[in-house]
């Protein structure tokens, strides 16, 4: 088993042998800081890629073998397998969205217009940046914008698919809050890119609040469902965690390794207060932090909707007395 794992680790390393064993310093220290080894892992001066030679903004997003190759294999297999099984088990158990309310799922015109503008601007920034910057459309908040774009413009999307996407958007909005609270703007170097960063994240927070207030999204069990509020809450929360883990371990990590970039900080930890998230278990720590953030935001949305509806019911009864 150890030999098999070692072989798998060597294969992972062979995908991109130019990565360093630790992240390069974020600020030039020696004048000759190295960001990548040679194409085949050569450490001779003629083959090295120096950080000073990289396009502006890319240095902050350089990937590395912060954790060993075998650990990459273990986490990939474990997270992808468990997430896939959870999704397969939970999906048939989800309540069906009532067909009579399908029209409620269509985003209003102002959401569509704003989404088109914001998504187009973000794509433009990514396409005009350094080589590989477009891959950072896989960052969580950019994926959220992609989900909104699909909801707004994808033709013939089934009502159940839209229902699931809305339910996932609510807990994932926690990541927009985290991005605003602890912003990393180190690779945002184009004109207007930093203020746009904050604008797009604030809008990602405002969108679901608006939809909840209009009743377009409901975090409570569907009418006719046998689920309790607690079971409904837990299903959607676990499903959100599973999709998130499947996407970032199953898609973002292989792409990070292949292109030598730190997409969603899957190759080494992000800047964080006191380096609380660090060491060989940093991805497990990040996963737990994300799951806790999803839980908290989904809990607030569910409780808020419950009490809002309860207050509305009491007001209606009092009005009719």
DSSP state of 224: T
pLDDT at residue 317 above 60?
A: no
The pLDDT confidence band at residue 213, using thresholds 50, 70 and 90, is: confident
pLDDT, residue 61, reads 94
Q: Say if CB 36 and CB 44 are below 8 A apart.
A: no
Q: Looking up tokens 């184009």, which residue turns up?
A: 190
- Residues 85-143 have pLDDT tens digits of 999 999 999 988 887 777 788 999 999 999 999 999 999 999 999 999 999 999 999 99
Report how far residue 85's alpha carbon sits from residue 90's, in angstroms, rounded to the nearest whole number: 9
pLDDT at residue 195 above 60?
A: yes
Report how far residue 20's alpha carbon sits from residue 38's, in angstroms, rounded to the nearest whole number: 10
pLDDT at residue 316 above 50?
A: no
Handedness of CA 130, 131, 132, 134 (dihedral sign): positive
Q: Say if CB 251 and CB 79 are below 8 A apart.
A: no
Report how far residue 86's alpha carbon sits from residue 92's, in angstroms, rounded to the nearest whole number: 11
Using alpha carbons, select from 24, 93, 84 the residue that is nearest to residue 59: 24
Segment 250-273 mean pLDDT: 91
Report how far residue 155's alpha carbon sits from residue 173's, in angstroms, rounded to the nearest whole number: 24
Q: Looking up tokens 């998504």, which residue turns up?
A: 119
Using alpha carbons, select from 206, 201, 142, 170 the residue that is nearest to residue 294: 170
What are the tokens at 130?
Answer: 């350094």
Total-model pTM = 0.92
Q: Say if CB 56 and CB 130 are below 8 A apart.
A: yes
Q: Looking up tokens 């609380």, which residue turns up?
A: 276
pLDDT at residue 315 above 50?
A: no
Q: Which residues pair with 64 in a beta bridge?
A: 20
The CA distances from residue 194 to 125, 168, 259, in Å, are: 11, 27, 25
Torsion angles phi and psi, residue 33, rounded to 5 = -60, 135
Q: Say if CB 118 and CB 193 are below 8 A apart.
A: no
Using alpha carbons, select from 173, 106, 184, 115 the residue that is nearest to residue 146: 115
DSSP state letters, 87-135: HHHHGGGSPPPPGGGGGGGSPPHHHHHHHHHHHHHHHHHHHHSSTTGGG
- Residues 19-34 have pLDDT tens digits of 999 999 888 888 899 9
Q: Looking up tokens 């030679």, which residue turns up?
A: 53
Q: Say if CB 52 and CB 28 are below 8 A apart.
A: yes
Specify burial of residue 297 (Cβ count, 10 A radius: 0-12, 13-18, 19+): buried
Task: Tell me which H or E stretch contains 35.
Answer: strand 34-36
pLDDT, residue 319, reads 44
Q: Say if CB 301 and CB 209 are below 8 A apart.
A: no
Using alpha carbons, select from 195, 276, 261 the residue that is nearest to residue 60: 261
- Residues 33-61 have pLDDT tens digits of 999 999 999 999 889 999 999 999 999 99
The pLDDT confidence band at residue 156, using thresholds 50, 70 and 90, is: confident
pLDDT, residue 9, reads 92
Segment 77-91 mean pLDDT: 96
Across the chain, mean pLDDT equals 91
């Amino acid at each position: 088993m150890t030999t098999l794992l070692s072989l798998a680790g060597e294969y992972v390393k062979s995908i991109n042998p130019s990565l360093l064993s630790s992240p390069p310093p974020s600020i030039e220290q020696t004048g000759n800081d190295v960001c990548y080894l040679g194409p085949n892992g050569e450490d001779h001066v003629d083959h090295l890629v120096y950080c000073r030679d990289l396009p502006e903004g890319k240095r902050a997003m350089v990937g590395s073998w912060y954790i060993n190759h075998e650990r990459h294999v273990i986490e990939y297999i474990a997270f992808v397998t468990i997430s896939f099984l959870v999704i397969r088990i939970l999906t048939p158990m989800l309540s069906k969205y009532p067909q009579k309310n399908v029209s409620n799922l269509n985003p209003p015109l102002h959401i569509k217009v704003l989404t088109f503008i914001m998504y187009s601007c973000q794509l433009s920034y990514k396409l005009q940046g350094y080589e590989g910057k477009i891959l950072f459309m896989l960052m969580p908040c950019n994926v959220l914008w992609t989900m909104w774009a699909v909801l707004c413009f994808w033709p013939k999307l089934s009502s159940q698919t839209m229902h699931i996407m809305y339910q996932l958007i609510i807990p994932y909005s926690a990541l927009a809050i985290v991005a605003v609270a602890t912003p990393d703007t180190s690779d945002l170097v184009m004109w207007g890119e930093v203020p746009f960063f904050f604008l797009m994240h604030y809008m990602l927070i405002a969108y679901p609040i608006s939809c909840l207030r209009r009743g377009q999204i409901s975090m409570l069990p569907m009418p006719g469902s046998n689920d309790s509020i607690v079971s409904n809450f837990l299903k959607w929360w676990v499903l959100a965690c599973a999709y998130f883990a499947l996407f970032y371990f199953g898609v973002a990590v292989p792409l990070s390794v292949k292109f030598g970039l730190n997409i969603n900080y899957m190759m080494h930890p992000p800047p964080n207060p006191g380096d609380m998230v660090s060491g060989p278990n940093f991805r497990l720590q990040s996963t737990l932090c994300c799951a806790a953030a999803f839980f908290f935001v989904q809990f607030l949305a569910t409780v808020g909707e419950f009490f809002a509806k309860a207050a509305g019911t009491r007001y209606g009864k009092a009005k009719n007395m």
